[in-house]
Structure 1
Amino acid sequence: MPFSGKTKPSVVGYLLHQGLLAQFDTMVSAALLVVLCTLPSLAHAACLSTQRAPEMDRACRDFDNSLHEVGSKWRVHCMDCTCSASGIHCCDVLPTSISFPDDCKEVYDEANCKRYAVRKDDPSIKCRITGGIGK
C-alpha cells in the first residue's frame, strides 16, 4: 500500500513499509558480529582452538600427543593452553613482533618464552625495544 498524506515518510518508515528493515537489520547485525569477532584477535597475540575427540571422555590430546585432563592448564611452545569439555584452547604468551633500532636484531628465546633485541655487531649487548604488537 502506498504512503498517503502530506508529509514524506522517514527512511525507517519506508524500509518498514517495504519489508526491508528486517533485511537491513540482519546485514548490520552480521557486519557488527564480524567486527566484534576480530577484536579479540587484535588484542591478543594469537590463539587457536581445537575440538576434543568424542572418544576422549575426560582428557584432551595435545599437539605433541600429550594427554591433559579436562580443566587442566599447561604451557607448550610458548603457548598457554587449557583443556575444556569442548577442546583445547591455546594462546601465545609472546608478542607477535617487536620494534628495535636498525643496528639490532631480534632474538627468540623459546626456553624462556621471550623475544629481545641485541646489537648486530655485538650480540652480548641488548638493545632497547621501542614497541611491540601482542602480549
Structure 2
Amino acid sequence: MNTLRVMVCLLGLVALSHCDCSFEELVLKDLKNPPTACVDKEGEMHAFGSEWVKDCLECSCTQNGMSCCSMIPDLSAMDVSEDCELVVNTNACSSKFVLKADKTKECPIVI
C-alpha cells in the first residue's frame, strides 16, 4: 500500500513539473570572430558557462547556444473541470487551477 502511495505522489510530481523549454543556437557570422557569449532577448550578454533566472525563465549559455526553461509548470494540458481556471503567479513562478466561483479553493487534478 505504501508503494502505491509513493507511485501516485511521483506521478503527480511528473505531471506538475512539465514546463516549456527553448534552445537558441549560436550563429557563426564571421569565422575570424566567433561569438564569445550568448545574447538574450533584451540584448544582455551572458558568458559561456553562465546560468541566470529572469522573468521565471531559468537560462544557461554554452558554446552551442542559449537554453531557457520556464519555471512555471505548464498545467494547461491537465484534465480539469470546466468550473476551474488556470491562475499564474509570476512572482512565485507557479501556477494552479482554482474554482472560478471561489478562487481561494484549488481544483482537483485528474492524472
Q: Equivalences for 1:60-71 in 2 at 5 Å? A: 60-71=38-49
Residue 52 of structure 1: aligned partner:
26
TM-superposed CA distance for 1:129, in Å, is: 4.2
User: Letter of the aligned partner of 2:22 in structure 1?
Assistant: L
TM-superposed CA distance for 1:53, in Å, is: 4.6
Q: Relative CO higher for 1 or 2, CA cutoff 8 Å, sep ≥ 6?
A: 2
Residue 127 of structure 1: aligned partner:
106
Identity of aligned residues (%): 28
TM-superposed CA distance for 1:120, in Å, is: 1.3
TM-score normalised according to structure 1 size: 0.53
Q: Equivalences for 1:73-88 in 2 at 5 Å? A: 73-88=51-66
Gaps of 5+ in 1: 1-42
Question: Aligned pair in 2 of structure 1 residues 80, 131: CA closer, same or farther (>3 Å)?
Answer: farther
1:109 corresponds, among 84, 89, 102, to: 89
User: Letter of the aligned partner of 1:50 in structure 2?
Assistant: E
Residue 93 of structure 1: aligned partner:
71
Output the CA distance in 1 between the equivalents of 2:107 and 2:36. Answer: 46
Number of positions where the alignment pairs a residue of Structure 1 with one of Structure 2: 89
TM-superposed CA distance for 1:102, in Å, is: 2.8
TM-superposed CA distance for 1:71, in Å, is: 0.6
TM-superposed CA distance for 1:46, in Å, is: 2.5
Structure in which a larger fraction of residues adopt helix: 1
User: Letter of the aligned partner of 2:64 in structure 1?
Assistant: S
Q: Are the counterparts in 1 of residues 83 and 99 from structure 2 also a CA contact under 8 Å?
A: yes
Gaps of 5+ in 2: 1-16
Question: Aligned pair in 2 of structure 1 residues 126, 88: CA closer, same or farther (>3 Å)?
Answer: same
